[in-house]
Amino acid sequence: MFNNQTTLLFDIRKIRELTDESYYKVVLRTNMPGNKVYGVFDDAMVYYPWPWKMAGVDTPIGPWDCQVNGTVMTPQACCNMIQEDVSESDEYGNFLVCYVEEPVGGPHNPEQDNRAIVVSDATGVVVRAPVAH
C-alpha cells in the first residue's frame, strides 16, 4: 500500500478554512506539466469555497470556467480573468490572489516513494485516507 516502505515521511496538510490566513487565495489546480488550469474535476472550472465579504455583505464568487472555445487557459490567463471578475478588496483589505497547485507528479510537486500525504481538519482529525505520493 505504501510501496513496501519501512518508514514514511508524513506530509500532514490541514484543510483550508475561512479563518486561515490564506483564505483570500483561489487555488488553480493545473495539469501535470503545470501549464494549463484543469481544476479539481479536470473540467477547467475553478471554485472558491467561501463568499467574498465586502462592506459587511457576503457575496458569492465564482466558479470560473478557465476554458475558452475548447482551449484551456494558462494559470496566468485564468488568474487574470478571475481577478478582473473580483476586482474589489474584501472588508479586510485583501484582494483575491491565485495560488497555482500542480498535482502530485508534476515538475514542482514530484512523487516521493516514502511520503504519505495525510489530510486533517483544524483539530488534527484525519479526514481522508493517507495516500502514498
Model confidence pLDDT, tens digit, residues 2-22:
677 778 888 888 888 888 899
Residue 81: CB partners within 8 Å, gap ≥ 6?
64, 66, 73
1 lies in a domain?
A: no
4 lies in a domain?
A: no
Q: Which DSSP symbol is given to 22?
A: T
3 lies in a domain?
A: no
Model confidence pLDDT, tens digit, residues 32-50:
999 999 999 999 999 999 9
pLDDT of residue 1: 59
109 lies in a domain?
A: yes
72 lies in a domain?
A: yes
Range of the domain at 128: 9-132
Q: Which of 60-64, 82-86, 101-105, 111-115 has the lowest mean pLDDT?
A: 111-115
Return phi, psi of residue 77, to 5°.
Answer: -65, -40
How many domains are contained in the chain? 1
2 lies in a domain?
A: no
71 lies in a domain?
A: yes
Taking all residues of the chain, what is their mean pLDDT, rounded to a whole number? 91
Q: Which of 2-16, 59-73, 78-92 has the lowest mean pLDDT?
A: 2-16
In this prediction, residues 72-96 reach a mean pLDDT of 97
CA distance 22 to 24: 5
64 lies in a domain?
A: yes
Which position has the higher pLDDT, 80 or 121? 80
